[in-house]
Structure 1
């Protein structure tokens, strides 16, 4: 009996030793992709002082998306003409729906498929009652030693100014791209992007298929991801879709003194609880796995053990990632109850109660999948599910992380910023890229600006600002990217 026990213990020790060896071996192999370190980042040599003044001036135009008839929309386009004369004499320009200009920089080799660089100049409104929270008036464009302040600096006039500054400088230097380059600056991205849709339709009608396009949708993230010490550029390959479902329950109504066992409001409340307790299935597959696989290689050795050995730790890793709203949103289609209606008086039973649930759809799911999930999860035939099909958008197609466009963007990020982590990712909100992508083989999303965790609240919030250093790096990025075309 003792010998048998010793043999079992010896076998167990051997299994543990082999397992540890496998875990360590896999982790040692699981490391970042080797990149060539450049001695100094690429510099285009643009006039950064003038670019800073241009961004300041751009902020002063009140191009608020909820007021598309405001004269500042047309005035902003005139400002661009005055500020970038070489761009406007070298490139052709058409102004399409919602004051969206489309520029064409003719390339020298017509056999090469064109590309498109996009941004938008409309901005969200200032939240009522928040003006006193701003360090500087939101449309003042104040310049201090480090930043340009004001609505639109980050989202997205900074990118528009960076693109045009780079193009103006390169034209002055005698540069002509080999492939044709389009630039499009949306005038209504914040309210749906009809301008970008018009651009895509315009290109399709001319039988022009873009090789790839680039728009906003991510940043170079510094100290944003817990446990990651170095900045990471997430070059996003897709963006989530969007659908809002309305759940409607009806009852006889009446006086609250004689309620039924289950009221219409109670039925809706139960349905919401079931949806929140049973999220849409997700996990580390497809683009989600690509993102976390690329990211995991840059963590410490101890953390890399988990990422490198997903064959063993995948359930644990998915549980950990699902514990944070930020990382959970990368794993699945998200469920967000946002609006409730019931009775108009506290002592009257609601004859009809409803809830609106917003879903951001992961590329693995469809609108039909979301509706089926809701029907099955609430498991209540007395609740009607409604939604406006015209407002429902599937997730955009997943672009290639091996195509020329992705590689050009990646190497240009490294040219401008120096060594950092680069990963393919997923945009969890909506951008104009979902429209432009209908005229392109591949659509990518990143703004070449470095942001920290404290900057996240500035998007659509208070004290929006862009550092002058970021503006310069963004100009250099677009210069490096255009040099490759």
Structure 2
């Protein structure tokens, strides 16, 4: 008996040694890829002038909820007078929702064009929060190394950086080989009908873009737990969106004589089942691509897990599912947001409604979301209504090896240095999903470095963009335009 125990122990010992060897071998091979050298940026820009231009741009109250405000037309006129070289060489057409589309003709008609996009509409500022702003939200105040105001980060900063770069390139006598389009949405914050009209216009003109680039991510500094170095997330797709309403009905009456199951009770049970049974997730597709690229930049001990997913996948998925930010990368998310029932506390509701918002992962679609809801509720008395008119599936997943991605990656590194760049997934909705309908590939990144402190400023208080970031953004677009 003792001999058998020793033999089993010996076999287990060998197995452990072999397993450890495999884990270490895979980990040593799993590291950051080599970073190619970046081309030097050939043109310089007057950053002080660009700072003043961004300050002025912020002063136009192009609030998305007030599309008829005269500041929308005034902003487009401001662009004409501020960037005369751009307006001198490009063809411009203004499409739906006062969305201008510029065409900068390239010298080689055999090359497919590209599109650079931003938007100039902004979300409202709540009147009751005005006194909480350090500087008035539409003042464009330049102070403490920042331009302050609504739209600096989202998304006039990118627009001004883009046009400043183009103006300088044109003034220096540069003509791209590839035709470049610029599109500036006037209603991105409320659905993007302007971007839809751009995609429609391009298709009607027989134009298929090689790639398009819009907002949707940043260079993230100390935002990803476990990483002390900045990471540029160049996003390949964005999640879809659908709102599902659950409706429960029952006989009304007085609350003193309730039935065993009320409309509100039935609805509550349905909502609980949907929330506690999320759609399946996993490290597949763009999610796997993101975490595989990201994992290479962690410490050696953490890389052991990412390098040996054949063993650690269940553990890794469980860990990633535990935080809202990483769980959103793995699956279609479920968010009950609104409830309605009776109009009085002692009246039984004849109808109760719950609104649930889903952000759809590229592996899923609206139909699979509705079917999942129907299955987990398992109650034929609950009506399920999906708002398909105001929703849509996730955008196609673009290539992370295509020339467009490599150009964006190299241009980021030309400004920020040899940092980690990873293909990612945008979890919110942008105009990029509409441009994708006229593009081979569509990418998403703003060329600015942000920290956790900046995240709360989006659509929030004290939005601002550092002058250093504005300079970086201009450098990025200079490098990117230079490659076309």
How does the TM-score come out when normalised to structure 2? 0.99
CA distance in 2, matches of 1:392, 1:94: 28
1:37 Cα deviation from its structure 2 partner: 5.2
Q: Distance in 1 between matches of 2:340 and 2:2?
A: 72
1:253 Cα deviation from its structure 2 partner: 1.0
Deviation of the 1:145 alpha carbon: 3.3
Q: Any stretches of 5+ residues in structure 1 without a counterpart?
A: none
Please list the CA deviations of residues 95-148 of structure 1 after superposition, one character each: whole Å capped at 9, or x if unmatched: 111110000100001111000000000000012411111111100101013100
Which whole-Å deviations, capped at 9, do the CAs of 1:315-372 have from their partners, x for residues lacking one?
A: 0000000000000000000000010000000000100000000000000001000000
Task: Measure, in 2, the Cα distance between the counterparts of 1:115 and 1:10.
Answer: 63
- Alignment match, 2:29: 29
Q: How far apart, CA to CA, are the structure 1 residues paired with 2:125 and 2:16?
A: 60
> Do 1:177 and 1:483's aligned partners in 2 also have CA atoms closer than 8 Å?
yes
1:186 matches 2:182:
no
| Counterpart position of 1:88 | 87
Residue 7 of structure 1 is matched in structure 2 by 7
Secondary structure at the counterpart of residue 142 of structure 2: coil
Q: Which residue of 1 aligns with 2:17?
A: 17
Q: 1:41–1:417: 8 Å Cα contact kept in structure 2? A: no
Q: Secondary structure of the residue that 2:373 maps to in structure 1?
A: helix
Q: Which residue of 1 aligns with 2:205?
A: 206
In 1, Cα distance between equivalents of 2:112 and 2:103: 13
Distance 1:46 1:216 in 2: 22
Q: Distance in 2 between matches of 1:195 and 1:44?
A: 32
- Where in structure 2 are there 5+ consecutive unaligned residues? none
Contact map agreement 1:37 1:418 (CA 8 A) in 2: no
Q: Deviations over 1:15-72 (max 9, x none)?
A: 111111111111111101111356x974741000000000000000000000000000
**Cα separation, 2, equivalents of 1:163 and 1:439:** 21
In the alignment, the residues of structure 2 paired with residue 14 and residue 304 of structure 1 have an alpha-carbon distance, to the nearest angstrom, of 24
TM-aligned CA deviation for residue 414 of structure 1? 0.7
Q: Is 1:161 aligned to residue 192 of structure 2?
A: no
Contact persistence 2:43–2:172 (CA under 8 A): no
Q: Is the 8 A contact 2:214 2:446 kept in 1?
A: yes
The alignment partner of 1:234 has SS state of strand
Question: Is 1:118 aligned to residue 110 of structure 2?
Answer: no
Once the two structures are TM-superposed, the CA of residue 287 in structure 1 deviates from its matched residue by 0.3
Q: CA RMSD in A?
A: 1.0
> Is 1:284 aligned to residue 283 of structure 2?
yes
User: Quick one: structure 1 residues 300 and 250, their matched pair in 2 at CA, closer, same or farther if it must change by over 3 Å?
Assistant: same
1:228 aligned residue? 227
Q: Does the 8 A contact of 1:43 with 1:416 survive in 2?
A: no
Q: Secondary structure at the match of 1:476?
A: helix
Aligned length: 484
1:4: Cα distance to partner? 1.3
State how 1:4-403 maps to structure 2 within 5 Å. 4-36=4-36, 42=41, 44-403=43-402
- In the TM superposition, residue 392 of structure 1 has moved relative to its aligned partner by 2.0
